[in-house]
Structure 1
Amino acid sequence: MPRQPVYEQVIDDVTASIRGGTLKPGDKLPSITELCEQYRASATPIRLALRILDERGWIEVHQGKGSFVAQSPPA
Structure 2
Amino acid sequence: MPRPPVYREIIKDIRTAIETGQLKPGERLPTIAQLAEQYGASATPVKFAMRILEESGLIETWQGRGMFVRRPDAEVHVAE
TM-score (norm 1): 0.93
The correspondence of residues 32-47 of structure 1 with structure 2, limited to 5 A, is: 32-47=32-47
1:8-52 Cα offsets, whole Å, 9 max, x none, are 100000000001110000000000110011000000000000000
Which residue in the other structure is 1:70 paired with?
Answer: 70
Bigger proportion of residues as helix: 1
Q: CA RMSD in A?
A: 1.2
Runs of 4+ in 1 over 6 A off after TM superposition: none
Tell me the CA shift for residue 2 of structure 1: 2.1
Using structure 2 for the length normalisation, give the TM-score: 0.87
Consecutive unaligned residues of structure 2, counting only runs of 5 or more, are 74-80
Structure 1 or 2, whichever has the larger Rg, is 2
CA distance in 2, matches of 1:8, 1:64: 25
Structure 1, gaps ≥5 residues long: none
For 2:20 and 2:33, locate their aligned partners in 1 and report how far apart those are by CA, in whole Å. 24
